Structure 1
Amino acid sequence: MAARDPLGGSVSITGQLSRLLRGRTAQNLLALYGVQFANYLLPLVMLPYLARVLGPDGFGMLAIGQSLAQYLSLVVEYGYSLSGTREVAQHRNDPNRLARILSGVLGARLFLSLIVVLIAFSLGMWVPVLREHPLLLWSGVFWAIALGFSPIWYFQGRERLRLVAILEVLAKALGVIFIFLVVREPADAYKVLLVQGWFAALASAIAWRWAWQEVGFLWPDFSMITTSVHAGWRIFFATAFISFYTSANSFILGLFVPPQQVGFFAGADKLIRAFLSLLQPLIRVYLPKFSHLVEHDPLAARSLFKRNTLLLLFLGVGGTIAVWVSAPFAVKLFLGHAYEPSVEIMYVLGLIILPVSLASVWGTQWMIANKLDRELTKVYIAAGLINLILALVLIPRMGSMGLAAGVVVAEVLGASAMWLVLIRRRLWFM
């Protein structure tokens, strides 16, 4: 597959891949793959052990706790992995501005952590499954806050990820070792979240100290916090609604079906998300570069958009085929014979790989770099609401398969809406 870019050069998949092997981009890409390995592939190493030790019921309970924790972590994180990265990339040579950005984000996250605790108290009183398992709830809240506090966005914006990536990988690897040591029976499901929380908190504390050593520490004041909240609120709402069809689905499913059925869906979903995680470093490593090029070299930015779209189209189609071929073997290997219903769920969820791949370029890279936060937020809100509505309609009728179908519809409609926005704003250059 090849095309001509605006600069007159030939654009090919192999040419694009060769570009990734050179310079700072290659170093940051390898660092992001290290973080992605820690975030998704290390838990995949644990998956066969936890699926068998906890059983479908215990594994379903863990999935509910993880789903809630990941959603709550988005409240604390507040979209700064995107908006914060963009701000740091645009002001990377101004230490005073960087110190104010760090201070504003810190103050905002402390305030948001209090909101998360209040939300958890309410859920603990009104949701039966959480009321009956308080250790699972509060271990998940602790992990959510620790996870949301990570300042990796700062180092990503400065395109210096190697050291902090090593720290994150090391922390999560140690967490995996401790989980193998302390989780022995279904009742230990909460310990998975507790251990992950402790090591996430340790890594975040060390990374914040490194950031302050570079630009200095400022106590957050009200103006810094409000500036930070205002800068990130659109992207926060976008990521919050994205999570209706990513992080929150297992929790939503658990409100309607037994934990065993949640376990079947969560097993398939984790395998799909682990595959999608292989694409994410290709997306995130280019966000600061897009943000810089859009401001200083629009022609080069358009060329990069074109190359990345072709690359992710190729990888999305190949990934879908790979999932369909490998689903029976993957379920047997990672989950075990007790999870056979997960195979059919994987067949359906495999359809999201292509729209997710393209939406990552069109939305996470291109729309954010062009400051189309408002349009992107509208797209994600619409897609999230569609997923939620379909879940409420289809789960009572079709169970986990209905939820899987709703996720696919939401992803396809979301990617299509981004494409239409880019055409309408004259930012489509294929």
Structure 2
Amino acid sequence: MENQPATTQKKTKMPSLTRNAMLNSTKTVMSMVFPLITFPYVSRILGAANIGKVNYAQSIVSYFALFAALGIADYAVREGSRIRDDPARLTRFARQIFTINLITSAIAYVAFVVVVFAIPSLHAYLALLVIMSLNIGFTTIGVDWLYSIYEDYLYLSVRTIAVQFVSIILMFIFVHTPSDYVIYAGITVFASSAANVWGFIHARKYSTLKPTATTDFKRHIGPLMALFTNNVAIAIYGNAGTTFVGAMLGDVQVGLYSVAMKIYMIVKRVINSVTVVSLPRLSYLAENDRHGFTSLLNRLFNTIVIVAFPATILLYTLREPIVLIISGRDYIDAVPLLGVIAFALLMATPNALLASAVLIPLRRERKVALATTLGAVVNIVLDLVLIPHFGTMAACYSILAAEFTVFSVGAACSRDVLRRLRIGAALVHAVIGCALIVGADLLMNRYVAFGNPVVDLLVRGLTYGAIYAIVLAVTKDESGRFLLNKVLRRRK
């Protein structure tokens, strides 16, 4: 006990939140870049049928993986961050969470075996299903939540990128014929799970993980089920549009809708990767420093405002060259779909911040589940009612309505916190900058024509970005200046 103060002092020294955001954004971007590199190759080698088999097996396993995960990651990060200054308490807690995760994974595997053998149509996919199911166990032992508690995003980023780089090499070495689709599935599992074995071994740096008989299950189960409900709702309304468009309008419209959604999700995930890293820090501050909690929250919301607004407008104004570059001219009809979905960013990014930075750290996970569940219900109802009459565009407007619903409920449940924030100046600066971008876009479309989509994206993108940066500089926006200083300091 005499050495406790020194241990506490060491534990509370956390890395820069800005650095964590940059690392997590890099990891997120690279996780999307690697499939873009390998997919054109494997799709030509394996063919659509074999790629479909692998994706089908992956989709089946994903349901069992969802149950195995339960909601443990967010809960473990929130509660563990509050007690990370007490190694003994944290080790006891980590062992409880690890044991619960082992139990949910075991139940998921039992259910998986029963379902696979009970449904004859799945027998033809047995090898693929077994390979893909390894992800469940590897994710459990990966204990990413432990690294998030200590905000070790450098380790998480390096290990993930390193394994994905190796997987690219393995893909080109071992996948050469259509019959290699099982090998492809194995490499896919390696890309997503090999780092988890490494993570379990390295976890001894922070805590000695092993099963325990005292899980304190009753205390943990309520929050875990609320977060699990939230994850299920996210999965439902994330896939509802694709399901209903496919069932009602056919494969071509699914392809167009999927392109627009994929582009939207890439931008959304990159922006949200900045806010996700705030959960451990805010959970710690919510327990130990309420003034620091409000101060950091204010900075995060101002940052999201000056990032989400231009991201929305840039995605809208540059929707055509983006679609052409990513998918080709055959998908030109996805351009108007992306134009509608782009505006969901204005609500989706604050939604992520409300969940990970306000409601979950303050132990209001039931409010998060309520907001997301209502969003899923709105999305499904509107899809069923509107798609038969208005086509694929209705699915895009359903996404807007769902995100607005989640935002409204989340904001209402956070109003006691939000009223203490000061984001008015950032809103004004963002609106001015975006209005000038729209004006510049109108002039560009009228007087300038680009024959090449890459040139179009670069010229207009850089021009609009410069306009927005100038607005932030002229208005002396605090968040813009903060981000610029961080970037310049790193370059030095």
The normalised TM-score by structure 1 is 0.80
- Candidates 281, 291, 312, aligned match of 1:320: 312
Q: Could you tell me which residue of structure 2 aligns to residue 18 of structure 1?
A: none
CA deviation map 1:18-77 (0-9, x unaligned): xxxx95323423332343234333334445556776788877776666555555433222
Q: In structure 2, how many angstroms separate the alpha carbons of the residues matched to 1:150 and 1:259? A: 37
- Asked if 1:152 is matched to 2:144, the reply is yes
Q: In structure 2, how many angstroms separate the alpha carbons of the residues matched to 1:400 and 1:341? A: 11
CA deviation map 1:78-122 (0-9, x unaligned): 223321111221111222322233322333233333444425864
- Asked if 1:240 is matched to 2:232, the reply is yes
- Candidates 377, 382, 386, aligned match of 1:385: 377
- Candidates 408, 415, 419, aligned match of 1:428: 419
Instruction: Please say which of residues 345-354 and 106-115 is displaced more in the overlay.
Output: 106-115
- Greater RCO between the two (CA within 8 Å, min separation 6)? 1
Q: Could you tell me which residue of structure 2 aligns to residue 175 of structure 1?
A: 167
- Candidates 386, 397, 400, aligned match of 1:405: 397
Assess if the C-alpha contact under 8 Å between 1:379 and 1:418 holds in 2: yes
Q: In structure 1, how many angstroms separate the alpha carbons of the residues matched to 2:133 and 2:388? A: 28
Q: In structure 2, how many angstroms separate the alpha carbons of the residues matched to 1:58 and 1:222? A: 46
Alpha carbons of structure 1 residues 422 and 354: separation in structure 2 relative to 1, 3 Å? same
Assess if the C-alpha contact under 8 Å between 1:104 and 1:220 holds in 2: yes
Assess if the C-alpha contact under 8 Å between 1:367 and 1:373 holds in 2: yes
Assess if the C-alpha contact under 8 Å between 2:240 and 2:379 holds in 1: no
- Asked if 1:305 is matched to 2:297, the reply is yes
Q: Could you tell me which residue of structure 2 aligns to residue 15 of structure 1?
A: none
Assess if the C-alpha contact under 8 Å between 2:75 and 2:224 holds in 1: yes
Q: In structure 1, how many angstroms separate the alpha carbons of the residues matched to 2:113 and 2:394? A: 28
Instruction: Please say which of residues 100-109 and 225-234 is displaced more in the overlay.
Output: 225-234
Instruction: Please say which of residues 138-147 and 272-281 is displaced more in the overlay.
Output: 138-147
Alpha carbons of structure 1 residues 224 and 23: separation in structure 2 relative to 1, 3 Å? closer
Instruction: Please say which of residues 371-380 and 247-256 is displaced more in the overlay.
Output: 247-256
Q: Could you tell me which residue of structure 1 aligns to residue 193 of structure 2?
A: 201
SS in 2 for 1:370: coil
Alpha carbons of structure 1 residues 200 and 102: separation in structure 2 relative to 1, 3 Å? farther
Instruction: Please say which of residues 412-421 and 192-201 is displaced more in the overlay.
Output: 192-201
Structure 1 residue 132: Cα displacement? 7.3
Q: In structure 2, how many angstroms separate the alpha carbons of the residues matched to 1:262 and 1:132? A: 26
5+ residue gaps, structure 1: 1-21
Q: In structure 1, how many angstroms separate the alpha carbons of the residues matched to 2:120 and 2:345? A: 32
Percent pairwise identity: 20
Alpha carbons of structure 1 residues 404 and 37: separation in structure 2 relative to 1, 3 Å? same
Q: Could you tell me which residue of structure 1 aligns to residue 286 of structure 2?
A: 294
- Candidates 266, 269, 275, aligned match of 1:277: 269
Assess if the C-alpha contact under 8 Å between 2:97 and 2:215 holds in 1: no
Alpha carbons of structure 1 residues 109 and 169: separation in structure 2 relative to 1, 3 Å? same
Assess if the C-alpha contact under 8 Å between 1:172 and 1:196 holds in 2: no
Alpha carbons of structure 1 residues 391 and 184: separation in structure 2 relative to 1, 3 Å? farther
Structure 1 residue 192: Cα displacement? 5.2
Assess if the C-alpha contact under 8 Å between 1:283 and 1:364 holds in 2: yes
CA deviation map 1:336-393 (0-9, x unaligned): 3443443333223212211111112222111112211121221111112222333344
Assess if the C-alpha contact under 8 Å between 1:147 and 1:197 holds in 2: no
Assess if the C-alpha contact under 8 Å between 1:71 and 1:243 holds in 2: no
Q: In structure 2, how many angstroms separate the alpha carbons of the residues matched to 1:395 and 1:114? A: 40
- Candidates 99, 106, 110, aligned match of 2:98: 106
5+ residue gaps, structure 2: 1-13, 422-492
Q: Could you tell me which residue of structure 2 aligns to residue 26 of structure 1?
A: 18
Alpha carbons of structure 1 residues 213 and 293: separation in structure 2 relative to 1, 3 Å? closer
Q: Which amino acid counterpart does residue 188 of structure 2 have in structure 1?
A: Q
- Asked if 1:211 is matched to 2:203, the reply is yes
Structure 1 residue 155: Cα displacement? 0.9
- Asked if 1:357 is matched to 2:336, the reply is no
Structure 1 residue 306: Cα displacement? 2.1
SS in 2 for 1:156: helix
Q: Which amino acid counterpart does residue 216 of structure 1 have in structure 2?
A: T
Assess if the C-alpha contact under 8 Å between 1:73 and 1:144 holds in 2: yes
Which has more radius of gyration?
Answer: 2
Q: In structure 2, how many angstroms separate the alpha carbons of the residues matched to 1:402 and 1:40? A: 27
Q: Which amino acid counterpart does residue 32 of structure 2 have in structure 1?
A: Y
The normalised TM-score by structure 2 is 0.71
- Candidates 251, 257, 264, aligned match of 1:265: 257
Instruction: Please say which of residues 152-161 and 62-71 is displaced more in the overlay.
Output: 62-71
